[in-house]
Amino acid sequence: MTALTIRSISIRALDAPMDPPLRNSLNVIPRAPLVIAEVQTEQGPRGTAYAFAYAPAALGPLAALTRNLGAGLVGREVAPQKIWDEMLNANRLLGAEGLVMMAISVLDMALWDALGQSVGLPLARLWGGDLSPIPAYGSLRGWGPAMLAEEGGRAVAQHGFRAVKCKLGAPSIAGDLETVRALRDAVGPEVEILIDYNQGLDRPEALKRGLALQAEGVRWMEEPLHVTDDEGLAWLADQLEMPVQGGENWWGVTGMARSLAARATDLCMPDVMKMGGATGFLRGMPLAAAHRVPLSSHIFIEASAHLLSVCPLRHYLEHLDIAGALLREPLRIEAGCALPPDRPGLGLEWDEAALARHAADA
């Protein structure tokens, strides 16, 4: 492999459509504020990736921080793992979480994409995997029985999903049960139903609702308690037959190791952006394997498809597409599985006209 040298790194901010908006018990996310990093090498290959800022107020700061970190990489050899270690160590006093980790992650993924482009290999193959279909579930965006039943039924009919996930957190258990039963009627008896509380419950309420929901055949209960309440999550997991799922809000390998050591989750679903990009995610996978905890992904479907191809205890890819409206060809889903594209690197091909329409100042 010929060594690559970074000529330049450019950063773009986007205000992408989120159709339909993403709703949960805490808020509504009507748009997707995205930061795109593009690495141009002296030898020609380019790499690109994106980060999700979640809130419009964070878009400008994330873009600026990523731009500043990227400027310090110009002239360096494209060596993602070495650069990852150096960026993390250089920012420890600032704090290697939040926007810092998000900026490191998008740069890391763009560097890996450039490597894949340079050798003409999809990252799944570069990492020693293949392009086999990845089991996926439909991550629903709606709220309430009627909206989720319609969305869930459509997702199963269109994509063949064998599992769907909905957000819960009604004022009473009765409201959550009504939602799950409506969704069950819409998707049929063979489709798994997964539920997500987005850290919205206290311990007594989590146990009460967990017992009621497992009686309905729900297959996992995601983030019922605050992500840092390892003791409470471990206690809850011991009380329920239904698995407790978590991990999307772990910051890096350190957060993942702490939670797994505490037995705070039966299943895990790290987020490639919060884990530290592809490098952080790849370093976290052996931890899940060592604890015998099945691993799913959280959003970032394009990178996740490649990463899960080399995951020892692969479970599900969460299909929640936040960048598809900006791509020439979104990730394909067939028969309930994600199909990693047979294109070099991550396989991202931006629609320049869409990028221009949704450009944001940052």
Residues labelled as active-site residues: 167, 298
C-alpha separations of 189 from 94, 143, 168 in Å: 50, 21, 20
Distance, CA of 239 to CA of 214 (rounded, Å): 11
DSSP secondary structure code for residue 243 in this structure: P
> How many angstroms from the chain centroid is the CA of residue 94?
24
Residue 6 DSSP symbol? E
Kindly provide the residue ranges of all beta strands, DSSP E only, lying in the chain, ordered along the sequence: 6-23, 28-41, 46-52, 134-139, 163-167, 192-196, 220-222, 244-246, 267-268, 317-319, 332-334, 337-339
177: its two tokens: 């049960």
Which two tokens mark 182?
Answer: 């409506």
Q: What 3-state class would DSSP assign to 172?
A: coil
Are the C-beta atoms of residues 294 and 288 closer than 8 Å to each other? yes
Inter-residue contact 326 to 355 (CB < 8 Å):
yes
Does 20 sit behind a cis peptide bond, omega within 30 degrees of 0 on the bond before it? Answer: yes
Q: DSSP letter string over 253-286? A: HHHHHHHHHTT--SEE--BHHHHTHHHHHHHHHH
Distance of CA 28 to the CA centre of its chain: 18
CB atoms within 10 A of CB 263: 16
The type of residue at 239 is Q
141 sits in the region (left: phi over 0; alpha: psi -120 to 50; else beta) called alpha
